[in-house]
Amino acid sequence: MSVNLPSHYVQQYATNIQLLLQQKGSRLSGAVTMGSHVGKQASPVDQIGSVEMIAPAGRFSPMGRVDAAVDRRWVFPSDYELPQLIDSFDKLRLLTDPQSSYVQNAVYAAGRKRDALIIAAINGTAKTGESGGTSVSLPAAQKVAVGFGAASDVGLTVAKLREAKKKLMAADVDLENDPMFCAINATAHDNLLAEAQVISTDFNDKPVLVEGRIMRFLGINFIHTELLESSSGDTLVPVWVKSGVYLGSWNEMGTDISKRNDLSGLPWQAVVSMTAGATRLEEEKVVQIACNV
């Protein structure tokens, strides 16, 4: 064997595999209602509307009848997968086994997909009816305009958060037992840092900031994500309560690692797959804030 044989292959590769900057998994799953299902679609809840007492028509008169409005909310699954090939030749030249890191990277992607499904469900069209044939959009009454409380279009402000909470309270949402959440990106978070009512202890019994991050204000729990949707150039910041949004799982995230004997070099294939879907459960439990960010 030649002494010039490249015995320093490891010098061509990092001895530790570093995953590039990314949101590592789901951040919103714990802020919604979750369940498991089978079949082509599922109904997480049957909805019964409120009823009101009525006065009797008269003594010994026929008794009337009150019928509560009923509805059924549906969630539909979608399939997702992420296959990655790992060259066996490269694998032999690494000091560390890349398979676990490749799979972990894919699991992070699966978590982000769950968050994207949740955000899309909050802003999108929900399916109701006996078999899910009726589409329900988020009504204008559940939206806060981009210029609310200001002379021009603005980013996220205390006034907008107050309006969102006001809408939830006006709908009789049980805020004492149903926690509120708000998903914000870095720019929306920075907008709030400019609000004296948020950062000053003169307006709060205890500090709102935790190591420079806004974690809770006005009873709203903030979750940072850069996956927010936009419309007409405005970022849509959602505010919701846990019982108002649903994430259904048909197949928990599964991983499979196998050797591809049909490909040159006999590479390893790492596949992460999942089947999931999300929906709004009640429009009155969700508020959409348009922000110029």
In this prediction, residue 98 carries a pLDDT of 58
**Cβ–Cβ < 8 Å for 79, 273:** yes
For the chain, list residues with pLDDT below 50: 1-17, 95
Q: Residue 157: what pLDDT? A: 96
Nearest-angstrom CA–CA distance, 194 and 190 = 7
Token pair in block for residue 195: 């609000």
Distance CA 100, CA 19 (A): 12
Q: Where are the alpha helices (DSSP H) in 78-145?
A: 88-92, 99-123
| CA distances (Å), origin 199, targets 133, 191, 272 | 47, 11, 42
Of the candidates 288, 165, 180, 168, the residue with the CA atom closest to the CA atom of residue 234: 288
Structure tokens at 227: 């996956």
Q: Locate 242 and state its tokens.
A: 């846990």
Provide the pLDDT for residue 5: 44
Q: Note the pLDDT of residue 257.
A: 79
Return d(Cα 278, Cα 78) in angstroms, integer. 10
Q: How many residues does the chain have?
A: 293
CA-nearest of 117, 77, 123, 127 to 251 is: 77
**What's at 164, amino acid-wise?**
A
Alpha helices in the chain (DSSP H): 88-92, 99-123, 158-170, 186-193, 196-199
pTM, entire model = 0.83
Q: State residue 202's pLDDT score.
A: 63
